[in-house]
């Protein structure tokens, strides 16, 4: 007599169908769980993509404001240099203070 090919070869036919049904049921449950996890992950990706877009938009707005304020500061510095004296005594000192501040330094 030859060796059995699978673990099911020696199982009576009356037990094979219920065992296969149980396997199919377990696999169906696992598939459903994986489907749910997949949907949850897709939702999270959508949420994070939206958040990234909003963050980028806010960053762009902030960069535009910084640029506007820097231009205003440069214009003010030019005006002061032509029209006024700085508290330290010279318009040149004020210009140096402004340029240092733009670079994040203290004069």
pLDDT digits (tens, 9 = 90+) for 28-57: 999 999 999 999 999 999 999 999 999 999
Backbone angles phi, psi at 44, to 5 degrees: -65, -40
Does the pLDDT value for residue 1 go beyond 50? no
- Is 38 a member of any domain? yes
Give Cα separations from 47 to 37, 40, 44, 53, 58 (angstroms).
15, 11, 5, 10, 17
Residue 17 belongs to domain spanning: 13-102
Share of the chain above pLDDT 70, in %: 76
Residue 85, number of CB atoms within 10 A of its CB: 13
Provide the number of structural domains found in the chain: 1
The answer to whether position 107 is within a domain reads: no
Is the pLDDT at 58 greater than 70, yes or no?
A: yes
Has residue 4 been placed in a domain? Answer: no
Residue 56 lies in a domain: yes
Instruction: Report yes or no on 86 lying in a domain.
Output: yes
Output the pTM of the full model.
Answer: 0.53
The contacts of residue 78 (CB under 8 Å, 6+ apart) are none
Q: How far is CA 13 from the centre of its chain?
A: 56
Mean of pLDDT values over 61-67: 95
Helix pair 13-83, 91-102: axis angle to 10 deg = 180
Q: Is residue 1 part of a domain?
A: no
């Amino acid at each position: 007599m030859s060796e059995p090919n699978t673990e099911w070869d020696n199982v009576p036919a009356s037990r094979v169908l219920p065992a296969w049904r149980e396997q199919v049921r377990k696999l169906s449950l696992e598939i459903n769980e994986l489907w749910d996890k997949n949907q949850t992950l897709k939702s999270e990706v959508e949420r994070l993509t939206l958040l990234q877009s909003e963050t980028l938009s806010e960053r762009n707005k902030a960069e535009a404001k910084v640029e506007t304020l820097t231009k205003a500061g440069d214009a003010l510095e030019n005006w002061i240099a032509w029209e006024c004296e700085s508290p330290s005594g010279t318009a040149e000192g004020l210009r140096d203070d402004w340029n240092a501040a733009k670079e994040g330094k203290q004069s």
